[in-house]
Amino acid sequence: GAVVSQHPSWVICKSGTSVKIECRSLDFQATTMFWYRQFPKQSLMLMATSNEGSKATYEQGVEKDKFLINHASLTLSTLTVTSAHPEDSSFYICSARWGGSQYFGPGTRLLVL
């Protein structure tokens, strides 16, 4: 149990375009999901907490208008990187809380050219 999937696993896009990343809890319902970003050789950085049916809570320094989060159902949260730039290239990982623990998806590697 507690399987989290992400799609796509990797994406390459041109600067200025928007990219949507999906995060799904496959065998459980998740009222709370989390979005992280990780640069090479660095630890996880929490970007925002996504709550089903309400607005996401963003961490300090994260632009909510650039990183749009939607958690419309108990099994799906999406992160849209709007007007992506090369500095947004990173490893984006979602996670979902279940049974007191937190489980991570496989991550999405984004490369902005």
Partner 1 sequence: QKEVEQNSGPLSVPEGAIASLNCTYSDRGSQSFFWYRQYSGKSPELIMFIYSNGDKEDGRFTAQLNKASQYVSLLIRDSQPSDSATYLCAVRDNQGGKLIFGQGTELSVKP
- Please give the Cα distance from 1 to 108 (Å, whole number): 21
CB of 102 to partner 1, least distance (A): 6
Nearest to 21 by CA among 98, 93, 100, 86: 93
Scanning residues 84 to 103, which ones bind partner 1 (CB under 8 A)? 93, 97, 100-103
Select 7 or 82, whichever has its Cβ closest to partner 1: 7
Q: Which of 14, 43, 54, 87 binds partner 1 (CB under 8 A)?
A: 43
Window contacting partner 1 (CB under 8 A); options: 14-22, 70-78, 80-88, 105-113: 105-113
- Please give the Cα distance from 73 to 100 (Å, whole number): 20
- Please give the Cα distance from 111 to 74 (Å, whole number): 29
Q: Which of 34, 35, 58, 67 binds partner 1 (CB under 8 A)?
A: 34
Binding-site ranges for partner 1 (CB under 8 A): 32, 34, 43-44, 46, 49, 57, 93, 97, 100-107
